[in-house]
Amino acid sequence: MKYYIIAGEASGDLHAANMMKALKKSDSKAEFRFWGGDLMQNVDGKLVKHYKELAFMGFFEVILNLTTIVKNLSFCKADIKAYQPDCLIFIDYPGFNLRIAKWAKKEGFKTHYYISPQIWAWKESRIAAIKRDVDKMYVILPFEKDFYENKHGMPVEFVGHPLIDAIANRNPVDEDSFRQKHKLNDKPIIALLPGSRKQEINKMLSLMLSVVKSFSDYQFVIAGAPSQDPLFYSSFIENKNVFFVENATYDLLSVSHAALVTSGTATLETALFKVPEVVCYKTSWISYAIGKRLVKLKYISLVNLILDKEVVTELIQGSFNSKRLTKELSSILDGRNREELFDAYHELEAQLGGPGASQKVAELIYSSII
C-alpha cells in the first residue's frame, strides 16, 4: 500500500516514525511519502518537506507567513494527487491538516487522523469539519474517546499514548557516560525544558534560570530543541552551574532529579520518566487574555488534565515568577511532595492504556484499507 503522511512538528515526526515501523510489520509492501522529519526519513520513504520549514506559531507569525502557507497547501495537494496514495494519514498539526483533509475527502482519498487536534481545549467548532472530512480518528488520551463519542457522536479508536512506546523502546543511558559526554559535574541535575519554538524559549528560559543561584547544590541543564540552532541558547548561559545538551531530551530526563517544564507534551514526557516537575507558562498579556476567553480548561498540563486533579504545580502568567518558582522547585526536590508525585505518575501511566499504541494504530489503518 502507498501511504502519504503529514506531520508538522518534532513530536509528530517521532510518533509517525514509530507508526511507520509498525506499518512495515503489518504491510510488507508499504511505501511512504511524507511531510515530517529526520526520524521518519530514517525509517523509509521520501521526505517531501521537513517540519522545520512549517513551524509558524501564533496569530501574527501566521499572517506574516501566509503566502508561504498557501503555497505549501497548493503544493501538498498537487503532490498527493500525483502520488495517488491508498490513504492519507494526518498527525496532529490541525491548521494545515484539516485543510488538506477537506480537499482530500472531496477528491476521494481515504483520510485517517492519528493524534487528534486538541479541540476539547479550544476551537471545538472544528468537530463539524472532522466529522465531515475524516474517515477514521485514532485518539491517544483517555478522555478524548468520551469527548468524541458521547458528546459529539463520532466513533473513534483509543489506541493508547505512543509516548509510552517511544520511552520504553529507547536505548538505556549510562549516567556516567552521559555526564562525561556533556561535560557535566557530579551534582544532581535539574532539567530545563523551555519549549521548542523561539518565541516561547525567549519568554520561558530567562525566568527558569533566575532561580539557579538559589540551588547551588544542583546543576541546571537546558534541553535544546531539535528545531533550534544550539548557538541560539548560548546567550542564556551566564552561570557556571548551567549547562546545555543538544537534541537529547529523553537522555537528559532519564538522569534528572527534577525539572522545570514549559506547558505542552513535555509535561507528559517528564512524568513518564518519573521526574518531579513544575509546569510553567507565560505569554504576552494580550495573548493570555484572549486565550482565557477561548480555552475552557481547569488545567494546562496534560498530567493534570488526564488525572483530572492537580498533581503537578502549574505556574501560569503572573504566578510564574522567581519567588514562586523557587518555592515550588524546593518542594519537589525531597520529602513528601516528591513521593506523592511518584504515586500519581504510576496512576497516570495506567490510564494512558499501556504499551502498543503504534502497533494498534498501524493494524487498524492497514485492516481498513485492504
Q: Give the tens place of pLDDT for each residue, 20-43.
A: 999 999 999 999 999 999 999 999
| Domains of the chain by start residue, with CATH | 2-161+354-369 (3.40.50.2000), 173-351 (3.40.50.2000)
Q: Which of 90-94, 169-173, 211-215, 250-254 has the lowest mean pLDDT?
A: 169-173
Mean pLDDT rounded to a whole number for the chain: 91
What 229-235 contacts at long range (C-beta under 8 Å, 24+ apart), as own/partner pairs, is: 232/198, 232/201, 233/201, 233/205
Q: What is the pLDDT of residue 65?
A: 64
Contact in structure between 258 and 187 (CB atoms under 8 Å): no
Share of the chain above pLDDT 90, in %: 74
SS3 string, 152-163, reads: HCCCCEECCCHH
pTM of the model: 0.84
Q: Give the position of cell 506531520.
A: 7
User: Strand order in 2-7's β-sheet?
Assistant: 46-50, 31-36, 2-7, 87-91, 111-114, 136-139, 157-158
Query: How confident is the model at residue 119, as a pLDDT?
Result: 92
280 vs 320: CA distance, rounded Å: 6
pLDDT at 66 > cutoff 70: no
Does 289 have pLDDT greater than 60? no
pLDDT over 60 at 61, yes or no? no
pLDDT in tens, 253-277: 999 999 999 998 899 999 999 999 9
Number of Cβ atoms within 10 Å of the Cβ of 293? 8
